[in-house]
């Protein structure tokens, strides 16, 4: 019995890009063999799973390999990584694996794909290198990573056809690098995640003159960050964040608990500075957060006065109003530090009415309900809550509309290819390109898996695409969970399971006893005796109507599954997973 169900995101058939649909296939007289090919294995039409590929003849560059966190339609899935099947088939052509910065949506998939790609040379900045290597210790069975440290201004020849120049960009983590790639077809820019900040904390501003010089050298195509392309104006400076946080610290009562992302090194430096200014001790709580803090301290990216940082075990050695706790879980993740505090499950920290809580992060799309639950529970506890919608206490790491237009005006690309954002964000970014004078036909809104061909004068989509479907990680399993398993999990989550156990005499085809029924998540058996009696009667009728000898058990199970499933739907308008179990005795 085939019953329609809500499609999972990984099942949805993406419609072909409507913009410039006439550009499918090479124009007359053009060959794709001498083009620069740009592809995305993730990061287009989504926020996360960033992985981009540049290919010219037998040379390939890979930019980033990140993870995407699952939504509610993917029960049990830990995260999603890019499908690297295309790259695996050409692994000997990969000349460089470029990592722009240390956020998980850009480097989180490295342990899962690096070996599949032939363990190519990795090029990245010092902080990103250390964060990647620290995480790599969790995978002791994998080979050592060949990482080369690069910095702002470094130029590296990769293969016969690519020369890569790295340039510093501002973000909410240090050591973020954009890439300028010289190719035989023309120069290509990947902006990485960036924003313009004239007063960054723990960092230096971007060198706008250098960006302008890239434009002077000629930019054939640019992939540009789209995350905040729907937000007007300029981004908020970290200096403004510091001033607003200062006002909160000054008036804060009780313990100050700040939820943020574990990789926001610059924000944690601000918190440390303010805690020292107002005489508070600092506790970092959360495995990934503490790991990143230690890496940043060792590298000098975080400076903490002696005695400021204390351990959780020292919490009760100081007055409550002299403690700052920096915790993970600002997105409402189950099991994270902040959620355990709110639910009263934390071993050391219990909320009190005079405490102050700051959400120093914006809400990642898809996490709205979890964050709202977290806020509601805090308000129920009577604590004072501050979040970014009340005042500027979080500056995103992504350029807003005016900054995006400035980047386009500085670089003056011939072709614009928005990336890193939902489809609406990429379209909005394309509209910004038109606003600064880039012709509509030169703006490319692509989907993951599409191959964009560039010559010096034209671009077009290949008629073929490459695999870019979800590869799901569940525990130790990588890619072994597909749509069929997800549909089963979804069915179990929505309507439960209904198991029918039958003992049948194979000679007579008759049931020896009344079937046993087990229900999980569907009905409470003790309150549905009439329904169970009808099901048993129906099962007996199905079994004893089967005349074939010996019994065709596969056919019989299908009949029971379909007929009982239809019967239960007619009676309850629910569709449990029906599992027939036949024992021949």
Catalytically active residues, by annotation: 225, 398
Strand order in the sheet with 471-474: 79-81, 471-474, 477-478
Contact (CB, 8 A) for 416 and 221: yes
| Helices marked H in 25-121 | 85-88, 104-107, 110-113
End-to-end CA distance of the chain: 29
CA torsion 143→146→152→158, rounded to 10°?
A: -130
| Helices marked H in 84-166 | 85-88, 104-107, 110-113, 126-136
Strand 176-182 and strand 450-454: pairing? unpaired
Structure token pair of residue 492: 């179990």
Half-sphere exposure of 150 (CA within 13 A, CB side): 28
Q: How far apart are CA 271 and CA 580, in angstroms?
A: 58
Structure token pair of residue 3: 């019953």
Contact (CB, 8 A) for 52 and 40: yes
Q: How far apart are CA 384 and CA 370, in angstroms?
A: 19
List of long-range contacts for 540-543, beta carbons under 8 Å, 24+ apart: 540/511, 540/514, 540/515, 543/502, 543/504, 543/509, 543/510, 543/511
Contact (CB, 8 A) for 170 and 206: yes
Q: Which residue has the tokens 């019953």?
A: 3
Q: How far apart are CA 185 and CA 486, in angstroms?
A: 43
Strand 176-182 and strand 187-190: pairing? antiparallel
H or E stretch at 372: helix 368-380
């Amino acid at each position: 019995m085939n019953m329609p169900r809500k499609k999972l995101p990984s099942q949805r058939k993406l419609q072909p890009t409507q913009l410039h649909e006439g550009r499918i296939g090479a124009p007359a007289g053009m060959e794709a063999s001498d083009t620069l090919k740009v592809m995305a294995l993730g990061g287009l039409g989504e926020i996360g799973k960033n992985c981009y590929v540049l290919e010219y003849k037998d040379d390939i560059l890979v930019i980033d390999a990140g993870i995407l966190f699952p939504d509610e339609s993917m029960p049990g899935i830990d995260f999603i990584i890019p499908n690297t099947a295309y790259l695996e088939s050409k692994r000997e052509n990969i000349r460089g694996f470029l990592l722009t910065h240390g956020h998980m949506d850009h480097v989180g998939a490295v342990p899962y794909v690096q070996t599949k790609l032939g363990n190519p040379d990795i090029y990245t900045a010092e902080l990103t290198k250390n964060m990647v290597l620290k995480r790599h210790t969790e995978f002791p069975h994998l080979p050592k990573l060949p990482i080369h440290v690069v910095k702002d201004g470094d130029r590296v020849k990769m293969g016969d056809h690519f020369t890569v120049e790295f340039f510093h960009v501002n973000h909410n983590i240090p050591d973020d690098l954009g890439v300028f790639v010289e190719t035989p077809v023309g120069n290509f820019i990947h902006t990485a995640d960036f924003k313009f900040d004239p007063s960054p904390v723990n960092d230096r501003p971007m060198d706008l003159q250098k960006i302008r010089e890239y434009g002077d050298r000629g930019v054939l195509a640019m992939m540009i960050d789209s995350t905040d392309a729907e937000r007007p104006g300029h981004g908020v400076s970290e200096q403004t964040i510091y001033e607003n946080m200062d006002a909160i610290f000054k008036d804060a009562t009780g313990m100050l608990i700040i939820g943020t992302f574990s990789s926001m090194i610059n924000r944690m430096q601000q918190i440390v500075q303010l805690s020292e200014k107002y005489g508070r001790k600092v506790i970092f709580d959360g495995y990934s957060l503490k790991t990143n803090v230690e890496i940043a301290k060792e590298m000098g990216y975080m400076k903490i006065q002696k005695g400021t940082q204390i351990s959780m075990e020292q919490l009760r050695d100081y007055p409550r109003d002299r403690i700052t706790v920096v915790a993970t879980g600002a997105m409402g993740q189950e099991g994270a530090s902040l959620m355990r505090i709110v639910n009263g499950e934390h071993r050391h920290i219990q909320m009190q009415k005079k405490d102050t809580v700051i959400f120093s992060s914006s809400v990642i799309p898809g996490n709205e309900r979890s964050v709202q639950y977290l806020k509601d529970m805090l308000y129920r506890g009577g604590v004072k809550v501050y979040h970014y919608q009340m005042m500027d206490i979080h500056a995103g790491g992504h350029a807003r509309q005016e900054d995006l237009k400035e980047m386009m005006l500085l670089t003056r690309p011939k072709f614009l290819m928005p990336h890193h954002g939902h489809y609406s964000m990429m379209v909005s970014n394309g509209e910004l390109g038109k606003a600064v004078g880039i012709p509509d036909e030169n703006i490319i809104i692509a989907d993951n898996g599409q191959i964009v061909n560039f010559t010096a004068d034209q671009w077009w989509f290949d008629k073929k695409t490459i695999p870019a479907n979800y590869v799901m990680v569940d525990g130790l399993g990588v890619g072994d969970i597909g749509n069929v398993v997800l549909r089963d999990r979804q069915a179990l989550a929505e309507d439960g399971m209904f198991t029918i156990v039958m003992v049948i005499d194979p000679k007579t085809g008759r049931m020896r006893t009344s079937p046993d029924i087990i229900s999980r998540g569907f009905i409470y058996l003790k309150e549905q005796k009439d329904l169970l009696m009808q099901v048993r009667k129906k099962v007996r009728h199905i079994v004893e109507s089967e005349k074939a000898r010996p019994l065709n058990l596969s056919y019989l199970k299908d009949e029971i599954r379909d007929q009982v499933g239809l019967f239960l739907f007619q009676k309850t308008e629910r569709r449990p997973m029906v599992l027939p179990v036949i024992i021949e005795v």
